[in-house]
A and B are shown apart, each in its own frame.
Chain A
Amino acid sequence: MTLKKINPPKPVKFCVLTALLVAVYLIIAIPFKVMSVIPGFTDIRPVMLLKPVFGIFFGIPGCLAFAVGNLIGDIMSGSLRWSSAAGFIANFLGPFVFYLFYMKIFKKPFYLRTIKDIIRQLAVIIISAVIEAVIISPAVKLLYPEIDMLLLFVTILLNGTVFPFMLGIPLMILMQEELGFKPVL
């Protein structure tokens, strides 16, 4: 509201929105760092539920916030490694896949009101998770050969699929249908 009254220039709005979304990401991500599957590399990450939410409702600032949030999370939990660079790219592309799909490919208003909508959303979630896993796992394996690449790949894939599907979809329904959020697409 305050932002609207002052009417700041677009880059300022972009930065403020990104910073706010990074804060939301961190509030959800940091406590879950206590649950580690492969210590230092990956954990159970319900924060992945924000991936479609950030991409669809906030666009590029959302994608950037998702990547920056993940990077800051790595720094704060002491797990910043060279592979975090791959993590940054993958975590930007994760929400960007949703943005790109609904903006450039589907080209219809975003809704989750029918089974068809849900199946379409699930397909995009899987594509996004595969892209992330394909970027992160080989990068980690290359830098840290002792890591079980298959386990890492599966964990990233499951984190990127289960949470956006089981938690992200209900959150988006709540945001769009009851809380009045509008997709940027």
Chain B
Amino acid sequence: MNKLQANICLICVTLCWSTEVIIFSCIPGNVLPFATTFICNAIAAIILGSCFYKRIKNELTRSGKKIILRCLLLGVLNCGYNTLYLYGIKHFDVSTGAFTFSMTVVVLPVVLITMKKTVGAKTWISVALVLTGIITALGGNITKISPVGLLLMLLGCIIRAVFIVKLNDFAGEFDSISLSAFISVFVAAISFVIWLVLQPETFAVIPWSGTIIASLFIHAYFIIAFAQTLNIFAQKRATATGATIIYSLEIVFSLIWGTVLPENLIERAVLTPFNIIGALLIVSGSVIEIIDINGKRRGIYDVKKN
């Protein structure tokens, strides 16, 4: 996979993530997010485990405990930022929360600097554009932001930034499919424990129906097994900041879905000039990161170099 291909894959991953709202709209509100996280990650782990059993076994023999410990760390970080987002987003309306969620792109370069890693000028320009986009999209709502909510979201963004940096490091070290499978296993295990504590009746609470089962399966194979694995493969060739800038496109995709999809699938989004300008700035920030300013042609030979 060359850099262009990695960026295309990251855009695809972001697109898949943006559909999460649509898929979960079929699941009733009384089903805890920890329940869906557990079920979907467990299904994804089973799918990956059964399809790539030999590959995972080989990687486990090669890297031993190392991969397990790394994935445990990633699993904890993943559950950490998702939980913070979950409680943080309750302090915002849907669109404000979604734009606040994109703050990771601003936090990540700072996290990288604290980890003594370099961040290029092009990346800073992209980050500035994306940040301006987020602030513009928030528009008048920026004054109404709850400090508690903002703090939770900010903490979530910091943990997510660390997760992305670590994932980026580990992607070059281990087999991507094995990483994806083990991350799913740990996320499932941690989510199950939280679910059990919050809702001891666990499975009995879920009003099982064909629609709920279908939504859980779609989320499991489409967003976790496929997008998460694709993301790890792409991270081998992309930088952590580059990936995060592309992830910020998620809000743009969500706005598009809210505008074009029928009401029975998603809550219709009311586009304001602020939203549109904000989205355009986010897109331009991503384009700057994706496009090779030096104009180098990337072809078959770059694969060997990479």
| Residues of chain A having any CB pair with chain B under 8 Å | 27-28, 30-35, 37, 44, 46, 111-115, 118, 166-167, 169-171, 173-174, 177-178
With contact pairs A114-B299, A174-B233 given, residues A31 and B1 touching in the complex (Cβ less than 8 Å): no
Q: In the bound complex, what is the Cα–Cα distance between A120 and B102 (angstroms)?
A: 33
Q: In the bound complex, what is the Cα–Cα distance between A84 and B230 (angstroms)?
A: 34
Q: How far is the CB of B1 from chain A (nearest CB, A)?
A: 5
With contact pairs A114-B4, A170-B230, A178-B233 given, residues A30 and B299 touching in the complex (Cβ less than 8 Å): no
Which chain B residues (19-66) contact chain A, with CB distance < 8 Å? 22, 26
* Residue contact A178 to B176, C-beta cutoff 8 Å: yes
* Residue contact A113 to B2, C-beta cutoff 8 Å: yes
- Chain A CB within 8 A of B146 CB: no
Determine the chain B residues whose CB is within 8 A of the CB of A113 once the complex forms. Answer: 2, 4-5, 298-300, 302-303
Q: In the bound complex, what is the Cα–Cα distance between A74 and B213 (angstroms)?
A: 19
23 CB contacts below 8 A, A to B, read A30-B214, A31-B213, A31-B217, A32-B218, A34-B211, A44-B265, A46-B222, A111-B300, A113-B4, A113-B5, A113-B300, A113-B302, A114-B297, A170-B13, A170-B230, A171-B226, A173-B8, A174-B229, A174-B233, A177-B1, A178-B1, A178-B176, A178-B233
Determine the chain B residues whose CB is within 8 A of the CB of A114 once the complex forms. Answer: 4, 297-299
Please give me the 5 A-B residue pairs with the lowest Cβ-Cβ distance, nearest first.
A31-B214, A170-B12, A177-B1, A170-B9, A173-B5
- Chain A CB within 8 A of B262 CB: yes
Contacts A111-B300, A169-B8, A170-B13 aside, 14 further interface pairs with beta carbons under 8 A come to A27-B221, A31-B213, A34-B214, A34-B215, A44-B261, A113-B5, A118-B8, A166-B12, A167-B15, A174-B1, A174-B230, A177-B5, A178-B176, A178-B233
Q: In the bound complex, what is the Cα–Cα distance between A33 and B210 (angstroms)?
A: 10
Q: In the bound complex, what is the Cα–Cα distance between A42 and B217 (angstroms)?
A: 20
* Residue contact B5 to A112, C-beta cutoff 8 Å: yes
Q: In the bound complex, what is the Cα–Cα distance between A44 and B214 (angstroms)?
A: 14
Determine the chain B residues whose CB is within 8 A of the CB of A111 once the complex forms. Answer: 300
Q: In the bound complex, what is the Cα–Cα distance between A170 and B1 (angstroms)?
A: 10
Which A-chain residue is minimally distant from B237 (CB atoms)? A177
Determine the chain B residues whose CB is within 8 A of the CB of A174 once the complex forms. Answer: 1, 9, 229-230, 233
Which chain B residues (225-259) contact chain A, with CB distance < 8 Å? 226, 229-230, 233
Q: In the bound complex, what is the Cα–Cα distance between A174 and B13 (angstroms)?
A: 12
Q: In the bound complex, what is the Cα–Cα distance between A64 and B243 (angstroms)?
A: 38
Q: In the bound complex, what is the Cα–Cα distance between A32 and B298 (angstroms)?
A: 37
Residue from the list B15, B26, B211, B303 in contact with A177, Cβ < 8 A: B303
Determine the chain A residues whose CB is within 8 A of the CB of B4 once the complex forms. Answer: 113-115
* Residue contact B299 to A34, C-beta cutoff 8 Å: no
Which B-chain residue is minimally distant from A173 (CB atoms)? B5
Q: In the bound complex, what is the Cα–Cα distance between A171 and B176 (angstroms)?
A: 15
Q: In the bound complex, what is the Cα–Cα distance between A111 and B1 (angstroms)?
A: 11
Q: How far is the CB of B179 from chain A (nearest CB, A)?
A: 13
Q: In the bound complex, what is the Cα–Cα distance between A112 and B303 (angstroms)?
A: 12
Residue from the set A37, A112, A169, A177 with the largest chain B CB neighbour count within 10 Å: A177
Which B-chain residue is minimally distant from A38 (CB atoms)? B262
Q: In the bound complex, what is the Cα–Cα distance between A118 and B298 (angstroms)?
A: 13
Q: In the bound complex, what is the Cα–Cα distance between A27 and B176 (angstroms)?
A: 23
Which A-chain residue is minimally distant from B217 (CB atoms)? A31
* Residue contact A166 to B15, C-beta cutoff 8 Å: yes
Q: In the bound complex, what is the Cα–Cα distance between A46 and B9 (angstroms)?
A: 16
Q: How far is the CB of A52 from chain B (nearest CB, A)?
A: 14
Residue from the list B214, B298, B300, B303 in contact with A33, Cβ < 8 A: B214
Which A-chain residue is minimally distant from B16 (CB atoms)? A167
Q: How far is the CB of A100 from chain B (nearest CB, A)?
A: 24
Residue from the set B5, B15, B213, B214 with the largest chain A CB neighbour count within 10 Å: B5
Determine the chain A residues whose CB is within 8 A of the CB of B233 once the complex forms. Answer: 174, 178
Which chain B residues (200-218) contact chain A, with CB distance < 8 Å? 210-211, 213-215, 217-218
Q: In the bound complex, what is the Cα–Cα distance between A114 and B15 (angstroms)?
A: 21
Q: How far is the CB of B114 from chain A (nearest CB, A)?
A: 32
